[in-house]
Structure 1
Amino acid sequence: MIVVVLTVVPERLRGDLTRWLLEISPGVYVGVASTRVRERLWARIVELSATGRAIMVYSARNEQRLQFKVARHHWEPVDLDGVTLMRRPSDDGGTAGRTVPSGWSAAAKRRRFAR
């Protein structure tokens, strides 16, 4: 099973994919194809997507029974102990190493002085 999600891609690519997969919603394609066809479809998607984005999810022989491929997308697959998850970008621009402000919180100050 293959699922492909395309965003902002040329009509030519969308037409190419309808030869092999069914378009169930705008930009969402589903189908069954061999590994060779899947790899060639992915190469075609990467080649023709220009500035668009693409995600492919397909069946695989692993614990999750699926695998991800991503092209020019802000979500990225991350392997955590053998399980692949999609990491979503944070709202604050990705400041993962931010520091926690020191001192008392506003709620803690209210509780402390309410006594």
Structure 2
Amino acid sequence: MPSMLVIATTAVPDHLRGALSRWTSEVVPGIFVGSVSARVRDQLWQAVIETVGDGAAVLVHPAPTGQGYAMRTAGSRRRVPEDFDGLALIRMRAAPKQVNGLQSPL
């Protein structure tokens, strides 16, 4: 049975956006909304994982949790979902340090 999903992308290749738009609607740049089966959802997410590159993506879909949804992420993001006793909360990572206008690994 189809259920709604939302995929938000940042700096992903254009061909990934094209692949996602075959099954969903890109309501604003980088935000895809659709109603698909769990099988199609999982196949779309696998395609995202394989091609996200230096970009980032998050998938939100219905799930039998206290909140009623689950989140999956791919790529490097400052916002990281973490499970706290069954409640998905977002933890913020520190911003990378800048040294002379360049990112420092420290």
TM-score, structure 1 length as denominator? Answer: 0.75
Could you say which residue in structure 2 is the equivalent of 1:23?
26
Partner-residue secondary structure (3-state), 1:32: strand
2:81 counterpart of 1:81: no
Q: Please, which of 47, 55, 60 is the counterpart of residue 58 of structure 2?
A: 55
Q: CA offset at residue 91 of structure 1?
A: 5.3
Equivalence for 1:108: none
Aligned residues: 93
Partner Cα distance (1:29, 1:44) in 2: 14
Q: 1:43 aligns with which of 32, 41, 46?
A: 46
CA shift, 1:74, in A, is 2.4
The aligned counterpart of 2:15 is: 12
Residue ranges of structure 1 left out of the alignment (5+ in a row): 94-115
Paired with 1:34 and 1:69, the residues of 2 have a C-alpha distance of: 16
Q: Which has the higher strand share?
A: 2
For the Cα contact (< 8 Å) 2:78–2:95, is it kept in 1?
Answer: no
Instruction: Report the identity percentage.
Output: 38
In the other structure, the counterpart of 1:3 is 6
How does the TM-score come out when normalised to structure 2? 0.81
Max radius of gyration: which structure?
1
Deviations 1:37-74 (A, max 9, x none): 11100000011111110111111111100000011222
User: Once superposed, which parts of structure 1, at least 4 consecutive aligned residues long, lie more than 6 Å away?
Assistant: none
Alignment of 1:68-107 (within 5 A): 68-72=71-75, 73-90=77-94
Q: Extract unaligned runs of 5+ from structure 2.
A: 98-106
Per the alignment, in what secondary structure is the counterpart of residue 64 of structure 1?
coil
